[in-house]
Amino acid sequence: MSPQELPTTPAKDLRTYIAVIRHQKWVIFVTLFVIVGATIFLTKRQTPLYTSVGRVIVLPAGTISNTPAAASIIDMPTESFIASSEEVAIELIEEQGLGTSTDDLLANLTLSIEPETRILVFAYTDSSPERAQQINQGFMDAYLALRRAAALERIKILREPYEAQQESLVKEIHRLEKIREPDSGELARLTNDLFLLNQIRGALRGLEPDPESGGRVSLAADLPTAPSSPSWPRNLTLATVLGFALGMGVALIREQLSEGLKGSEDLSAAVGAPVLAAIPSISGWRKRGDTQLVSVAFPKSSGAEAYRTLRTNLMHECSVNDLHVISVTSGSLGEGKTTTASNLAVTLAQTGKRVIVVSCDLRKPRLHRFFGLTNDLGVTSILSGATTLAQAAQRPEGIETLRVLASGPVPTNPAELLGSARMDALLDELRLFADLVIIDTPPILAVSDTLILAPKSDGVIVVADAHRSSKGATEHTREQLEQVGCNIIGCVFNNFDPSQAKYYPYDKRYYYSSYGYYAEKGPASLDLPSESPNGDHPTDESVEAPVVAETDDPSRPGDDMWR
């Protein structure tokens, strides 16, 4: 199962989101800053509003002494509707002489019911705290006045039949009292009427209006001391959450739509070949026009170690597949192919193998600058018959088994020269004189030179820049190479920052630091012994223990060029 086919795990998803946050942190920060800034601006422009709160206990509106349970039933949702009705608002306007409409009053009133109670909560909001308190208290008083008026009306209706009956009995009693000698029947009827009169009076006393009939104020409207709106903590919290969520959304969309290479997996999938090495970013080395050899200038840096990793993987490929001539190319300009070819040649030569690095970028040659050499003689000089390979090959200082063949004077027909029979003969001669030949070729998507030369080599290495290369361009580079029958043996992820990778598990200082190297600071401060057990001073070669090729065979062709 290939790496791309591995099932997604929660840990991998978490690393993906963390990588997106780190890679798109400025997008998230700017989005968050805009949302929070807009919230602060709008909040400052809002008029402060104050909310006064009061509570009313709703009581039965009048009772009948012999049916108290039935009279105590109160429908609280209905009472809440009545308290926020126009009738109450009109009563308030008339009572306080307010010059506003009922709709404006009711729009700022909020009513709620406390659960499992008969308490109505009145809340009125206004730009003035005093006005909010006054109107809120007015609403409670108007509601209670309306409810008490309804209670009195109900009591009045209930009292009417009893009062009429009482009046009739009183008249009858007065008539009987005027009779001087009432008979026994009249006397019994008088006694009965007096008993009924006492019962009626008792019933009327039960229907006397109660001062708290209908309800009473449980908590008077308070005077707010702080604005209820706008709420700075709430607004800033919501703005922060919304800004971060929106920023993450924008970052994820940008990440999905981005054509950039997000990691070695993307590069490997685009090229269709394994990543032989990831060359880390090194400050002060990736400037445009800089031709410094990091494998020579900083031999213990993470960059030099990465090129040694590239060397190891390439030597394995060469030994397995019998490869001798390797072309190094890229899709576009500025992706680091010449830098890769130069440093790869140096690290290969450090193992003792005979290595020739050839500049076949005949249009914009730069290879000779990395070694501080001239471009007076080179490939074009050999192809034109002006010189020989042994004369044109230059030996850089300090590296015995490395030769540099510059491009030579810039020709008018580079493509024709690279496709000529003389170029084929030069490649055959290079195979005889060197163990490995590294060819620096032009960018494939810029000119056609590489597509002419690359099929003549044993393998091609594609270099991609982590910040400049795109998936589309890299895939197109692979297609162009495959169409002319090139053998793509691998790719190099150049200018790579581990902290920006999607699934890169290593520290930003790069994993070589575990062997005592800092990524960009040279050798670490370790307490190493001054001498090895056999008395020799430790060197990079003793640590790496490379396989050194034999270079003193007198029968080997081209020995004069290596002396």
pLDDT of 263 reads 73
pLDDT of 504 reads 40
What CATH number does the domain containing 179 carry?
3.30.1890
Give the residue with greater pLDDT, 283 vs 427.
427
Residues paired with 461 in a beta bridge: 328, 490
**In 231-273, which ranges are continuous DSSP H helix?**
232-257, 264-271
- The answer to whether residues 302 and 434 belong to one domain is yes
Count the residues in the chain.
563
- The answer to whether residues 443 and 357 belong to one domain is yes
530 within a domain of the structure (yes/no): no
- The answer to whether residues 70 and 206 belong to one domain is yes
- The answer to whether residues 237 and 316 belong to one domain is no
What CATH number does the domain containing 460 carry?
3.40.50.300
Listed ranges 49-53, 156-160, 161-165, 504-508; the one with the highest mean pLDDT:
49-53
- Rounded percentage of the chain residues whose pLDDT exceeds 90: 41
Beta strands in 10-60 (DSSP E): 50-58
- The answer to whether residues 14 and 81 belong to one domain is no
Which domain does 27 fall in, by range?
Answer: 3-46+231-257
Helix (H, G, I), strand (E, B) or coil at 267: helix
170-220 tens-digit pLDDT: 777 677 667 656 666 666 776 776 677 667 666 666 556 566 667 888 889
- The answer to whether residues 391 and 466 belong to one domain is yes
Evaluate whether 470 touches 261 at the Cβ level (below 8 Å). Answer: yes
Q: Per residue, what are the HEC states of 469-503?
A: CEHHHHHHHHHHHHHCCCCEEEEEEEEECHHHCCC
The DSSP symbol for 196 reads H
pLDDT band (50, 70, 90) for residue 147: confident
437-490 tens-digit pLDDT: 999 999 998 888 999 999 999 999 999 988 888 888 888 999 999 999 999 999
- The answer to whether residues 207 and 249 belong to one domain is no
- Provide the mean pLDDT of the chain: 79
- The answer to whether residues 174 and 238 belong to one domain is no
User: Structurally, how many domains does the chain consist of?
Assistant: 3
- The answer to whether residues 436 and 506 belong to one domain is yes
173 within a domain of the structure (yes/no): yes
User: Which helix or strand (DSSP H or E) is residue 170 part of?
Assistant: helix 129-177
387-412 tens-digit pLDDT: 999 999 999 988 889 999 999 999 99
303-342 tens-digit pLDDT: 889 999 999 999 999 999 999 999 999 988 888 899 999 9
pLDDT of 228 reads 87
Q: Pick from 193, 219, 245: which residue ends a domain?
A: 219
314 within a domain of the structure (yes/no): yes
- The answer to whether residues 366 and 397 belong to one domain is yes
Predicted model pTM = 0.58
Q: Which pair of structure tokens corresponds to residue 427? A: 């490649």
pLDDT of 459 reads 94
- The answer to whether residues 184 and 239 belong to one domain is no
Average pLDDT over residues 534-538: 35
> How many CB atoms neighbour CB 127 within 10 A?
12
554 within a domain of the structure (yes/no): no
Q: Is it the case that residue 234 has pLDDT exceeding 70?
A: yes
313 within a domain of the structure (yes/no): yes
In terms of C-beta density within 10 A (0-12 exposed, 13-18 middle, 19 or more buried), how is residue 56 classed? buried
Long-range residue pairs from 517-526, CB within 8 A, at least 24 positions apart, any chain: 517/300, 517/301, 517/302, 517/305, 518/301, 518/302, 519/280, 519/282, 519/301, 519/302, 519/303, 520/282, 520/283, 520/301, 520/302, 521/301, 522/298, 522/300, 522/301, 523/300
pLDDT of 315 reads 94
- The answer to whether residues 204 and 280 belong to one domain is no
Q: Is it the case that residue 153 has pLDDT exceeding 70?
A: yes
202 within a domain of the structure (yes/no): yes
Q: Is it the case that residue 562 has pLDDT exceeding 50?
A: yes
Average pLDDT over residues 263-273: 85
Listed ranges 60-74, 159-173, 499-513; the one with the highest mean pLDDT:
159-173
532 within a domain of the structure (yes/no): no
184 within a domain of the structure (yes/no): yes
pLDDT of 560 reads 65
